[in-house]
Amino acid sequence: MLRIRSLSKYYGARAAVNDVSLEVGQGELVTLLGPSGCGKSTTLRCLAGLEIPDSGEVWLQDRLLAAPARRVQVPPEQRRVGMVFQSYALWPHMSVLENVSYPLRSQKRPRQEVIKRARDALELVGLSGYEGSQPGNISGGQQQRVALARALASECSLLLFDEPLSNLDVHLREQMRSEIRDLQARLRITTIYVTHDQSEALAISDRVAIMQDGAIVQVGTPREVFERPATEFAATFLGKVNLLHAAATGKREADLREQFRLAGGGEVHVHTGGTGGPSAEGTAVRVGLRAELIRLSRNAPAAEKNVWKARVERAVFFGDGIDYMIAIPVGRLRVRTPPYDQFRVGEEVFASIAPEHCFIVGSTPQPARQEEVSR
Partner 1 sequence: MRWRRAGPGETLLSVLLLVVLAVLVIYPLVSLIYGSIRSSPPGTGEPAYTVEHFLRIFMDPHFYEAWRNTLLLSASATLVALVFGLPATFLIARTDIPYRSFAEVLVLIPLFISPFIGAVAWTGLGAPRVGMLNRLLAFLGLPWEVNIYGVWGMALVLGFYMVPFVYLFTSGPMKAIDASLEEASRLSGRNALQTTLQITLPLITPSVLACTLLIMVLSMENFGVPAVLALPSRIPLVPTEIFVRFSYPPADYGYATVVALSLIAVTGIGLLLQRRIIRTASYAAITGRGYRVAPILLGRWRWVAVAILGAYMVATILLPYGVMMLASFQAYWTQEFTAFTLDNYRSVFTRGLLVRATENSLLLAVFGACVATALAACIAYVVQRSRAPGRSWLDFMATIPIGIPGMVLGVALLWAWIAVPLEIYGTIWILLIAYITRFLPFGVRNVSAALTQVGDELESAARVSGATQWRTAVTITLPLVRNNVLSSWVIYFIEFLKELNMSVLLYSFGSVVIPVVIFDLYTEGRYPEVAALAVGLSVLILVVLAISSRFFRIRISPLG
Q: List residues binding partner 1 (CB under 8 A).
A: 41, 45, 48-50, 75-83, 85-93, 102-103, 106-107, 135-136, 150, 154, 162, 167
Other CB atoms within 10 A of residue 32 CB: 29
Q: What is the DSSP letter of 91?
A: -
Minimum distance of partner 1 from residue 8's CB (angstroms): 19
Closest to partner 1 by CB, 106 vs 112, is: 106
Minimum distance of partner 1 from residue 39's CB (angstroms): 13
Minimum distance of partner 1 from residue 81's CB (angstroms): 6
- Of all helices (H) and strands (E), which one includes residue 134? none
Minimum distance of partner 1 from residue 108's CB (angstroms): 10
Give the separation between CA 200 and CA 232, rounded to whole angstroms.
Answer: 20
Minimum distance of partner 1 from residue 48's CB (angstroms): 6
Closest to partner 1 by CB, 101 vs 306, is: 101
Closest to partner 1 by CB, 80 vs 252, is: 80
Other CB atoms within 10 A of residue 332 CB: 12
Length of the chain: 375
Number of helical (H) and strand (E) elements in the chain, helices listed first:
9, 21
Contact 99, 151 (CB under 8 A): no
Minimum distance of partner 1 from residue 31's CB (angstroms): 19
Minimum distance of partner 1 from residue 160's CB (angstroms): 8
Give the separation between CA 74 and CA 57, rounded to whole angstroms.
Answer: 12
Contact 168, 3 (CB under 8 A): no
Closest to partner 1 by CB, 39 vs 103, is: 103
Minimum distance of partner 1 from residue 165's CB (angstroms): 13
Closest to partner 1 by CB, 75 vs 346, is: 75
Give the separation between CA 107 and CA 154, rounded to whole angstroms.
Answer: 9
Closest to partner 1 by CB, 19 vs 162, is: 162
The one-letter amino acid code at 143 reads Q
Q: What are phi and psi of 35, to 5 degrees?
A: -70, 170
For 353-368, give the DSSP string.
--GGGEEEEES--PPP
3-state DSSP assignment of residue 92: coil
Q: Walk across the sheet containing 331-337 and list its strands.
A: 295-297, 348-352, 307-317, 322-328, 331-337
Minimum distance of partner 1 from residue 63's CB (angstroms): 15
Closest to partner 1 by CB, 50 vs 327, is: 50
Contact 22, 209 (CB under 8 A): yes
Output the CA–CA distances (angstroms, integers) from residue 92 to 89, 98, 150, 168, 192, in the order listed.
9, 10, 14, 19, 26
Closest to partner 1 by CB, 159 vs 208, is: 159
Closest to partner 1 by CB, 134 vs 283, is: 134
